[in-house]
């Protein structure tokens, strides 16, 4: 589960692509997010993508709610995972597309697909993570849009 949460975190942080107009399958009460909401999210996540590639954990985590909880993981757990990636790879690159954005009971679900690659000493470039149509929940807080996680 921890790997999926890293994927979801990076996914939301890196969205730069297009989106589908159809609701995500299997989510009761889901409705397509309005285009203005998607357009509001784009510069926020692009900034986070840039911070990720700049190896700025604080900048990336500024886009995660202090109340983040998902699959037993917290914001502190995400920090450890990101710092581990930064310590292992000399350079990290991320590419991603938004597959869909849905509003479900007031929560914003962002579905993304993408790839993160990294350069290892003496090895070269390798694929670190790939994902397809993975969801993450975001919400608007006082400081702006933040990852919130799947909380029960």
CATH number at residue 79: 3.10.450.50
* Contacts for 46 with CB less than 8 Å, ≥ 6 apart: 15, 16
Q: What is the pLDDT of residues 103-151, one digit of tens each?
A: 988 889 988 888 999 999 999 999 999 989 888 899 999 888 998 887 7
Domain range for 72 is 2-147
pTM, to two decimals: 0.79
As for how many domains the chain has, the answer is: 1
Residue 89 lies in a domain: yes
Residue 36 lies in a domain: yes
**Rounded distance between C-alpha atoms, residue 22 and residue 13, angstroms:** 22
Q: What is the pLDDT of residues 10-66, one digit of tens each?
A: 554 443 333 333 445 566 788 899 999 988 887 887 888 899 999 999 999 999 999
Residue 152 lies in a domain: no
Q: What is the pLDDT of residues 54-90, one digit of tens each?
A: 999 999 999 999 999 988 889 999 999 999 999 999 9
Residue 49: its pLDDT value, please?
A: 83
């Amino acid at each position: 589960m921890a790997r999926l949460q890293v994927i979801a975190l990076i996914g939301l942080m890196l969205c730069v692509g297009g989106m589908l107009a159809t609701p995500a399958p299997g989510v009761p009460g889901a409705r397509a997010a309005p285009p203005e909401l998607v357009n509001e999210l784009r510069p926020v996540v692009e900034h986070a993508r840039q911070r990720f590639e700049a190896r700025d954990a604080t900048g990336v985590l500024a886009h995660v709610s202090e109340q983040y909880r998902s699959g037993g993981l917290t914001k502190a757990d995400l920090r450890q995972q990101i710092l581990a990636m930064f310590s292992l790879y000399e350079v990290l690159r991320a590419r991603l597309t938004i597959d869909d954005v849905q509003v479900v009971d007031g929560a914003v679900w962002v579905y993304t697909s993408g790839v993160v690659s990294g350069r290892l000493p003496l090895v070269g470039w390798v694929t670190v993570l790939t994902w397809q149509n993975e969801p993450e929940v975001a919400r608007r807080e006082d400081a702006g849009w933040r990852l919130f996680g799947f909380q029960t």
